[in-house]
Amino acid sequence: MKNKNLCTAVSWTAVITCMVIIFCLSHQTAGDSQSLSDRFAFLLKLPFGSFIVRKGAHFLEFAGLCTLVCNALYRSFGYFRPILSFALTAAYAASDEFHQLFIEGRACRIFDWFVDCSGTLAALLVLYIIAVIIRKKNRRSLR
């Protein structure tokens, strides 16, 4: 029981840590955010501009957050909770966009929220596929 509680606490700590990182990245001014995206694109020698890097970051941030939320909910309740995971992650994405209204040069964009939610849905799809594969493997090993 003690080990389960520790795993649950660590899982929720990872969720909160990810949320703090997203908040800090969103708290950058438009110029600082653009500069970070440009440096990232340059370092990786990406053939496309920072727009793709920025949207890819939105997608991946929230795919990662959703994965962590799924894990924390699983640790808390003992089963996969995709709808709740999506709702919590999408709500945080909406709050992240709202937060950007108060940052110099940033804006609240519905398109970015859709990108965030797309990352969330992609993570849920991957997690669902993994769960199906694990279930099939476990059924075969019981035979």
pLDDT in tens, 81-111: 999 999 999 999 999 999 999 998 888 999 9
Which whole number is the average pLDDT over 50-65?
90
How many domains does the structure of the chain reveal?
Answer: 1
- Residues 132, 108: Cα–Cα separation, whole Å: 37
Residue 127 pLDDT exceeds 70: yes
Q: What is the pTM of this model?
A: 0.88
- Residues 55, 112: Cα–Cα separation, whole Å: 7
For 133, the domain range is: 2-142
Residue 143 pLDDT exceeds 70: no
* The Cα angle at residue 139 between residues 135 and 143, in degrees rounded to 5: 170
Which strand (E) or helix (H) includes residue 57? helix 50-77
pLDDT in tens, 10-53: 999 999 999 999 999 999 887 887 787 777 777 877 777 677 88
